[in-house]
Structure 1
């Protein structure tokens, strides 16, 4: 491949696809991906397509660029999956995802919350009561206590971390 020409100028995507299929498949092994192979292969081929579309021969050789784009798409998908599983838990009965925010709805009144509130700071207790009992959003809680929304999010983060340890 001529270094000054883009991949599109020299080859059709079908040729690139055939030539770089081992790269995409090998990236699964390189990134230690053991499940959802078809989804990750698709992400890899999307990366290959993006590399084909955006390659500029003036900026460097296509193989290195293709490697980076394929790897980048697969890593992005890994991050998305990790974030999804961090934010959702699965019930043992039906294996359907349960949103963590919704699973806290059992805390409906202050009496139910009392044993848990003892483990929290005053500010974290405020967040739990305002959120769980009064169903207030962070911006509403911030306005009520005359603090920033980021401060309220800090209360939430601390409260949830402590509650998760206590509930487990």
Structure 2
């Protein structure tokens, strides 16, 4: 990973806060936030890119440490989680992790290539509509497609993902 810990902490600070809130640990927020940051540091130092993506690894690591701390500090208290809360939490976590993973892919793309990925690939907008909206020719949008896909293939290869 070529990011400093400070950059990683900035990216994951909201996830740490969200997990603290979701697990009902807000009463000891400062302590839990520090535990989450330390867990992120441990995940950052122990991460092996060969074994998978960093965002899910970090989330799992932070979750585990927060739950361990909650268990230690509340030996006689019970935390009740309904199935609905767990399902809602899971949905938002998956969405957040997907956005982080997408950011890793599009960071190396130009502004126009990112626009192509967002409009055509993610939103399913036809290339002709994108061309009209941006005031360029259809061939220009096809060139954005060609360069974006070439770069995405290179990025996917570096991340050990299937071909795009």
- TM-score bracket, shorter-length normalisation: 0.3 to 0.5
Tell me the TM-score normalised to structure 1 length: 0.44
Q: Which has the higher Rg, Structure 1 or Structure 2? A: 1
